């Protein structure tokens, strides 16, 4: 039996009763439809790709896709849905033992130099690439929805306001943003709450853009942006508030203790931390998802690692930070990723011009795939508020969560809360 006949035979057996809207095209032009109205076309341009497909080698298929040896046409979300179905039914294993290993648990030595290279791989593409699908402030983390139908700019502004309410900022306080990105949160906080702030990022591109934006906004005297590793931030008890959004995922599991120890060292007694990060939902901290997750670790997010919620809270407790509030934002990130994916598809030409055709292929699958991971509950987002004790005991805190949902006049609100 020929290679293609063997492949079609296997797919028939594995997809029995599925009726996937899939068209499979071969290198010589022959096509085969798995439903009456296929919405996704996968073209195998070489016999080797058919062989890898037959053997369920989805890691190799990912490489072939990036190289252009496999062409995929159709809506990104539909491609992902069909891809997951194929991976689960045709892949070597039903479940990957390590999450969208995507965000790692693979061997990676988190030295400062290695972390800087990994950050550069992910972020130092070009601002134009990220502008093609992010909001106007370039906030690269989950937005916050009140209704679910807001546009991305509105939802991201609501996220910044939500975080600032949790921080309970007062004029004159010092805020540290670990992993400050392009500076959107710091710009928002400094304008609204008259604070002083420091933002650190390992990305040279983000550093340069954030510093330029602060100067243009007239905030450079109050907001300092540094191209610096979190391990190199000097001093002790220097900040009233610390915020970390989408940062710990880059740190590596072996460095979580030193990461939280650094936060504790830099936070003043009685100070407050807002920590926003992706978590795995597996109770044992294992990754979940379909076969093929190595694709993201290799091409998108090298060296990442995720904790489950108990591990995250334990790491905070080890350094005597007291978690007092945890909010799950899983539906918010699923919606954010859907909006990013839609904008990415709509701005295809701009994306390719800024990042190249290979990066376009990688990221259209990455964004849609991460959206599916949150939609299906494989991943979630935990936004944790924690306090550092004073010399006499636990830090004082508001009696209720009302300050998180009331007006934006936080200085008045905090006075009432105290």
In a domain, 402, yes or no: yes
How high is the pLDDT of residue 416?
A: 34
Q: Which residue has the higher pLDDT, 206 or 15?
A: 206
> Confidence class of residue 1 from pLDDT cuts 50, 70 and 90?
low
Note whether 166 and 282 are same-domain residues: yes
Note whether 75 and 205 are same-domain residues: no
How high is the pLDDT of residue 103?
A: 35
How high is the pLDDT of residue 99?
A: 33
Note whether 78 and 120 are same-domain residues: no
For position 81, which CATH number holds?
3.30.1050.10
Note whether 30 and 158 are same-domain residues: no
Note whether 118 and 215 are same-domain residues: yes
Note whether 164 and 210 are same-domain residues: yes
pTM: 0.82
Which residues pair with residue 244 across a beta bridge?
Answer: 178, 275
In a domain, 291, yes or no: no
In a domain, 349, yes or no: yes
Summarize pLDDT for 204-247 with one digit per residue, the tens: 999 999 999 999 999 999 999 999 999 999 999 999 999 999 99
In a domain, 105, yes or no: no
DSSP letters, 229-296, are -GGG---SS-EEEEEEES-GGGT-GGGHHHHHHHHHHHEEEEEEEEEEEEEE--TTS---S-TTTHHH
Summarize pLDDT for 352-402 with one digit per residue, the tens: 999 999 899 889 888 988 898 899 898 999 999 999 999 999 999 999 999
Note whether 75 and 159 are same-domain residues: no
Note whether 76 and 168 are same-domain residues: no
Distance from chain centroid for Cα 76: 18
Note whether 310 and 382 are same-domain residues: yes
Q: Is 383 helix (H, G, I), strand (E, B) or coil?
A: strand
Q: What is the mean pLDDT of residues 81-109?
A: 52
Q: What's the rounded Cα separation, in Å, for the pair 262 and 352?
A: 39
Chain mean pLDDT for the chain: 85
Summarize pLDDT for 279-289 with one digit per residue, the tens: 999 887 765 65
Q: What's the rounded Cα separation, in Å, for the pair 186 and 196?
A: 9
Q: Which residue has the higher pLDDT, 98 or 55?
A: 55
| Domain boundaries, position 56 | 3-90
Note whether 67 and 134 are same-domain residues: no
In a domain, 294, yes or no: no
Note whether 376 and 319 are same-domain residues: yes
How far CA 155 is from CA of 62, 150, 206, 332, 382, in Å, comes to 33, 6, 22, 9, 17
How high is the pLDDT of residue 87?
A: 72
How high is the pLDDT of residue 113?
A: 56
Token output for 12: 């028939």
CA-nearest of 217, 221, 205, 210 to 184 is 210
For position 122, which CATH number holds?
3.40.50.150
Note whether 174 and 236 are same-domain residues: yes
Q: What's the rounded Cα separation, in Å, for the pair 55 and 7?
A: 9
Task: From 90, 122, 157, give the residue that closes a domain.
Answer: 90
Q: What is the mean pLDDT of residues 173-202?
A: 97
Q: Is 388 helix (H, G, I), strand (E, B) or coil?
A: coil
Domains contained in the chain, number = 2
């Amino acid at each position: 039996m020929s290679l293609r006949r063997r492949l079609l035979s296997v797919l028939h057996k594995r997809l029995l009763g599925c009726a996937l809207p899939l068209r499979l095209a071969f290198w010589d032009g022959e096509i085969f439809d798995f439903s009456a109205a296929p919405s996704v076309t996968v073209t195998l341009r070489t016999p080797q790709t058919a062989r890898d497909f037959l053997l369920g080698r989805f890691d190799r298929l990912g490489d072939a896709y990036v190289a252009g040896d496999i062409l995929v046409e159709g809506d990104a979300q539909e491609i992902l849905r069909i891809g997951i179905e194929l991976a689960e039914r045709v892949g070597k294993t039903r479940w990957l033992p390590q999450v969208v290993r995507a965000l790692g648990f693979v061997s990676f030595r988190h030295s400062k130099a290695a972390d800087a290279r990994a950050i550069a791989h992910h972020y130092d593409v070009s601002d134009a690439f990220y502008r093609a699908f992010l909001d106007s402030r370039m906030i690269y983390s989950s937005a916050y929805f009140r209704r679910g139908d807001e546009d991305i700019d509105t939802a991201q502004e609501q996220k910044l306001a939500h975080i600032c309410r949790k921080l309970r900022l007062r004029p004159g306080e010092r805020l540290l943003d670990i992993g400050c990105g392009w500076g959107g949160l710091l710009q928002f906080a400094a304008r609204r709450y008259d604070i002083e702030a420091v933002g650190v990022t390992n990305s040279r591109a983000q550093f340069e853009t954030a510093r330029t934006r602060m100067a243009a906004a007239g905030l450079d005297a109050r907001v300092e942006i540094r191209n610096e590793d979190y391990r190199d931030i000097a001093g002790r008890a220097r900040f009233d508030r610390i915020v970390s959004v989408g940062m710990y995922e880059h740190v590596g599991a072996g460095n979580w203790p030193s990461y939280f120890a650094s936060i504790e060292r830099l936070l003043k007694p009685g100070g407050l931390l807002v920590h926003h990060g992706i978590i795995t939902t597996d109770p044992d901290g294992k990754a979940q998802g379909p076969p093929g997750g190595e694709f993201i670790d290799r091409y998108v997010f090298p060296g990442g690692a995720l904790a489950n919620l108990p591990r995250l809270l334990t790491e905070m407790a080890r350094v005597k930070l007291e978690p007092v509030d945890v909010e799950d934002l899983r539906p918010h990130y699923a919606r954010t990723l859907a909006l990013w994916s839609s904008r990415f598809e709509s701005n295809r030409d701009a994306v390719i011009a800024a990042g190249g055709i290979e990066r376009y292929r990688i990221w259209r699958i990455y964004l849609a795939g991460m959206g599916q991971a949150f939609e299906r509950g494989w991943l979630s987002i935990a936004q944790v508020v924690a306090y550092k004790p004073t010399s006499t005991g636990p830090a004082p805190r508001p009696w209720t969560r009302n300050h998180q949902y009331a007006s934006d006049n936080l200085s008045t609100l905090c006075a009432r809360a105290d």
